[in-house]
Amino acid sequence: MGILHTHLILPLTEPERHAGLPGRLRQIKKFDRLPERQQRKIQQDRLRRLLEHAYTTVPFYRRQFDKAGFHPREARVDHPLPLPVLTRDDLRTAATWLVSSAVPADKLRVALSGATDRMPIRFHRDIESVRDKVALKMKLDAWAGFKAGDSAMMLWGAVSDAAREFNWRWRVYEGVFMRQTPPPPGVVGIDVLEKWRWRYEKQRPKVMYGRATVLAAFAGYLRERGVIHRPQAVISTAEVLSAPHRKLLASVFKSAPFNYYGRRDIGMVAAECSEHEGLHFHPWGSFVEFDPIGQSPDGTVYRLLVTDLLNYGQPFIRFDTGDCVTLTEQSCSCGRWFPLVGKILGRIEQGAVVANGSVVPNITFNDPLNPLKLDPRPVLALPEKCSRAVSRTRQKKQAMSA
Ligand SMILES: [Zn+2]
């Protein structure tokens, strides 16, 4: 981590997001060094604390917990929470009933869900959680070798982020202090790609960071025109990183891309480590559950449910992200026990009703070469808790059949 940036430049220039950053980073670092048993214990304590807070200060959850006959002290990280999922419709309709009465209005920040959502949803975060999420993202960045202040070229493109281009303060802050190069907004055509190429070869960034499809478009252009500089890390986020795009990025940049998983509503919560064997969900920031919904060539497909352990302003408990994932067969070689996802498959769109009355989710795919076959049977199994549990079961089955 660039100490000058994390301890001085960032807290001074942008205190809204970085106040107390050194202490937050120390807290996560301390957590990361603990043995697995203690990390699980801390995650469970944090989960119970959040649920207790939700039960006592959020009317929506008080009603739900009572209805389910559930008390927060019963929560365990090795069991599914016996509660209904929180849906995007809940976020729309419950509105202020989901906001904690214990967090003062001046400590809340309003945000909108992702720009790719057809109907963005307004939600709240308490300011401390905003800062915790920034610190957690920096820790995940460190897995890719990306430190605050490293030279980075951002191929982002979200409309709301592009507005920064017109603000000279942002240009100075990002360009001079953060050494980040955001591309000019606009449709990605030959002219824009050529500007990017010129800028890329001139600035020789250590890190390429951006949306999967934009990074792939740029890599494809570089492959045709020739490329001289190679960055140390390529980070793909905000979209599904398909197998062909992963291959293209690795081939052009001579570096295996790091895939991230994050959303505007829950923040950046998972990333690949240097082993590139899947995405780890960091247990300091979230508690995840995997709800099986069908089959794909890569195995069982799970709906991803996330409980955000950081946001006390508007708790997200068993939030149905709408995203589908597969789990890996084995634990990661890095040794972390953190829940491991093999692939992020895509977003569940509107469900279709089939003949037997069950609902088959329709999943948006970015990988036409590897289509998914969904199981139309209704979901009956309990959510499985983590990849390790799945891995153990599969290993046992394989051992028995061998
Ligand atoms: Zn790992």
> What pLDDT does 238 receive?
82
The H or E element that residue 293 is part of is strand 286-296
Domain membership of residue 165 (yes or no) is no
The rounded Å distance from CA 370 to ligand 1 centre is 24
Quote the CA–CA distance of 243 and 40 in Å, as a whole number: 32
The rounded Å distance from CA 89 to ligand 1 centre is 34
> What pLDDT does 397 receive?
44
Name the pairing type of β-strands 286-296 and 299-308.
antiparallel
State the DSSP code for 9. Answer: I
The rounded Å distance from CA 272 to ligand 1 centre is 7
Look at the chain and report how many structural domains it folds into: 1
The rounded Å distance from CA 23 to ligand 1 centre is 25
Domain membership of residue 10 (yes or no) is yes
The rounded Å distance from CA 271 to ligand 1 centre is 9
> What pLDDT does 173 receive?
63
Those residues whose C-beta lies under 8 Å from the C-beta of residue 147, and which sit 6 or more positions away, are 1, 2, 5, 141
Domain membership of residue 249 (yes or no) is no
Domain membership of residue 172 (yes or no) is no
The rounded Å distance from CA 119 to ligand 1 centre is 35
> What pLDDT does 348 receive?
63
> What pLDDT does 266 receive?
93
> Among residues 49, 92, 96, which one has the least CA distance to residue 73?
49
The rounded Å distance from CA 159 to ligand 1 centre is 33
Q: Is the separation of the CB atoms in 389 and 82 below 8 Å? A: no
The rounded Å distance from CA 277 to ligand 1 centre is 6
Quote the CA–CA distance of 161 and 170 in Å, as a whole number: 11
> Among residues 342, 340, 378, 347, which one has the least CA distance to residue 362?
347
The rounded Å distance from CA 80 to ligand 1 centre is 24
- The single-letter code of the amino acid at 171 is R
Quote the CA–CA distance of 172 and 238 in Å, as a whole number: 25
The rounded Å distance from CA 388 to ligand 1 centre is 13
With vertex at residue 46, the alpha carbon angle to CA 44 and CA 52, rounded to the nearest 5 degrees, is 100
The rounded Å distance from CA 181 to ligand 1 centre is 29
> What pLDDT does 330 receive?
87
Can you tell me whether residue 1 is helix, strand or coil?
A: coil
Domain membership of residue 46 (yes or no) is yes
With vertex at residue 251, the alpha carbon angle to CA 247 and CA 257, rounded to the nearest 5 degrees, is 60
Token pair of 183 as six digits: 């591309």
Question: Measured between alpha carbons, how far apart are the two ends of the chain, in Å?
Answer: 47
The rounded Å distance from CA 384 to ligand 1 centre is 20
The rounded Å distance from CA 331 to ligand 1 centre is 8
> What pLDDT does 56 receive?
97
Q: Is the separation of the CB atoms in 102 and 314 below 8 Å? A: no
The rounded Å distance from CA 293 to ligand 1 centre is 25
Domain membership of residue 221 (yes or no) is no
For residue 229, is it left (φ>0), alpha (ψ between -120 and 50) or beta?
beta
Token pair of 115 as six digits: 């720009």
- What does each of the 402 residues of the chain score in pLDDT, given as a tens digit? 588 999 998 999 889 999 999 999 999 999 999 999 999 999 999 999 999 999 999 999 999 999 999 999 999 999 999 999 999 999 999 888 999 999 999 999 999 886 556 678 899 999 999 999 999 999 999 999 999 989 999 886 544 444 445 566 666 666 665 566 665 555 677 888 888 899 999 999 999 998 888 899 899 999 999 999 999 999 998 888 989 999 999 999 999 999 999 988 999 999 999 999 999 999 999 999 999 988 887 789 999 999 999 999 999 999 999 899 999 878 999 999 999 999 888 766 544 333 333 333 444 444 333 333 333 333 222 233 333 333 443 444 445 444
Domain membership of residue 64 (yes or no) is yes
Can you tell me whether residue 77 is helix, strand or coil?
A: coil
Quote the CA–CA distance of 321 and 76 in Å, as a whole number: 21
CATH number for the domain that contains residue 41: 3.40.50.12780
The H or E element that residue 12 is part of is helix 10-13
Burial of 290 (0-12, 13-18, 19+ CB in 10 A): buried
> What pLDDT does 209 receive?
93
The rounded Å distance from CA 309 to ligand 1 centre is 21
pTM (2 d.p.)? 0.83
The rounded Å distance from CA 317 to ligand 1 centre is 26
Domain membership of residue 211 (yes or no) is no
> What pLDDT does 373 receive?
38
Domain that holds residue 381: 3-150+257-396
